[in-house]
A = this chain, B = another copy of it.
Amino acid sequence: MRLSRYFLPVLKETPSEAQIVSHRLMLRAGMIRQEAAGIYAWLPLGFRVLKKIEQIVREEQNRAGAIELLMPTLQLADLWRESGRYDDYGQEMLRITDRHERELLYGPTNEEMITEIFRAYVRSYKDLPKNLYHIQWKFRDEQRPRFGVMRGREFLMKDAYSFDIDEAAGRHSYNQMFVAYLRTFARMGLKAIPMRAETGPIGGDLSHEFIVLAETGESAVFCDKRVLDLPIPGDETNYDADLSEVVTQWSTLYACTEDVHDPARYEAETKPEDRLETRGIEVGQVFFFGDKYSKPMKAVVAGPDGAERPAQMGSYGVGVSRLLGAIIEASHDDKGIIWPEEVAPFGVAILSLKAGDPAVDAACETAYAALTKAGKEPLYDDTDERAGGKFATADLIGLPWQLIVGPKGIANGEVELKNRRSGERQTLPLDAALKALGA
């Protein structure tokens, strides 16, 4: 992408309404714009990151055997009356009346709707297991929306729902998602730690939250710091095999948010030198809740014996839009964002220090063509802004690499290559720089 043709409205000033660094940086880097309290437009740069994150989530869901579909944003109130949650949900549910006075709502989650879909088509244990997911906009009418996309009202969530014939099979589905989440967050460059959690309005008695450690996190967390060094399941993971060993390994060391923290147990189970007390951001949560929805909603399947029983269900959420905030909280410096490679909106910034200079233009065009062809998604700053402004913007938007092309260097056949994370710079011939970038 040529910056002269792009739409990247970076801000020079620090927006006063933003209380946390990720919100500030997303506004300054021209990633989002608030359209109403807790409702954001995703400007082109933010949109690209959102799509990268969504795609990683999708790939890992698919790998674990979940099947993608897409449920609508609006739901019938009557569906929520079947489960009993319509009245329970309170003011966070956005209730809507259409022109024919039918009661609708903007879905805050989809347990009821997926159960309705399941019961319409599935009759037999032979069709199980099934794990169905979608990545769709949700709405929760927060009393005080804040922290940008971290606690917005309209937000993008991946939610998966598993259906099994019995509890043991249901636990296996839960374990599949648990492992998929370990992989998902690791691919985004995050250390997300599963922590035993309360189940809240979703229900059930088994749940883990996946928490990214960050000092600006919304809740205090207490953990055995050896959990940070546990291995992430690899590409070769067989999701059909028993995964309970991985889950046990990841859920044995003490790790709790303040909601369920037990100081006595903490002291008994951790050595003083292993204790880590910090704050965390929830980026995902998994639940197993058995027949909480399938029983009242009559989502039953016949077992091998012919007898019908309610499906055993779990649900599994990832806060896709919230993850942008979490990643920035975990990866930035005082100059701006530092994107992990896998979620970076572009792979490399090409900074022309003298647009219009024939030798500089030629080198930049060569680099742009080669990097584009190699799938490195370069963002070519071909504008006539001064060098200082270009450096500041490149650091702010945080692409992993900067390829700096100036007239003096080019006179010697050389360019500069800067790594955004380490700050390391090297001067080298253009060909070598392109090779280093994989082009």
Contact = CB atoms under 8 A, between A and B. Distances in A.
B99 A36 contact: no
A19 interface: no
Contacts of A44: 67-69, 132
B154 A73 contact: yes
A266 interface: no
Interface centre among A30, A65, A99, A143 (most CB of B within 10 A): A99
B41 A71 contact: yes
B143 A69 contact: no
Nearest to A11: B121
Contact of A75 (B7, B36, B42, B50): B36
A359 interface: no
Contacts of A35: 71-72, 75-76, 79, 113, 116
B7 A130 contact: yes
Interface in A84-118: 91, 94, 96, 98-99, 102, 104, 106, 113, 116-117
Interface string A250-291: 000000000000000000000000000000000000000000
A92 to B, nearest CB: 8
Nearest to A113: B35
A342 to B, nearest CB: 20
A307 interface: no
Interface string A27-43: 00010010111011111
Contact of A137 (B43, B47, B73, B98): B73
A46 B71 CA distance: 11
Nearest to A154: B72
A74 B36 contact: yes
Contacts of A168: none
A141 interface: yes
Interface residues of A, number: 51
Contacts of A241: none
Contact of A69 (B42, B102, B104, B132): B42
Contacts of A141: 98-99
A141 to B, nearest CB: 5
A33 B120 contact: yes
A6 interface: yes
A104 B50 CA distance: 24
Contacts of A120: 9, 33
A304 to B, nearest CB: 15
Nearest to A78: B36
Interface string A120-140: 111000000010100001010
Interface of A: 5-7, 9, 30, 33, 35-37, 39-44, 46-47, 50, 65, 67-76, 79, 91, 94, 96, 98-99, 102, 104, 106, 113, 116-117, 120-122, 130, 132, 137, 139, 141, 143, 154
Given A35-B75, A47-B70, A74-B139, 4 more contacts: A41-B71, A41-B117, A91-B99, A94-B98
7 contacts: A7-B67, A35-B116, A36-B102, A44-B69, A72-B137, A73-B137, A73-B154
Closest 6 CB pairs of A and B: A9-B121, A42-B70, A91-B99, A41-B71, A39-B72, A36-B76
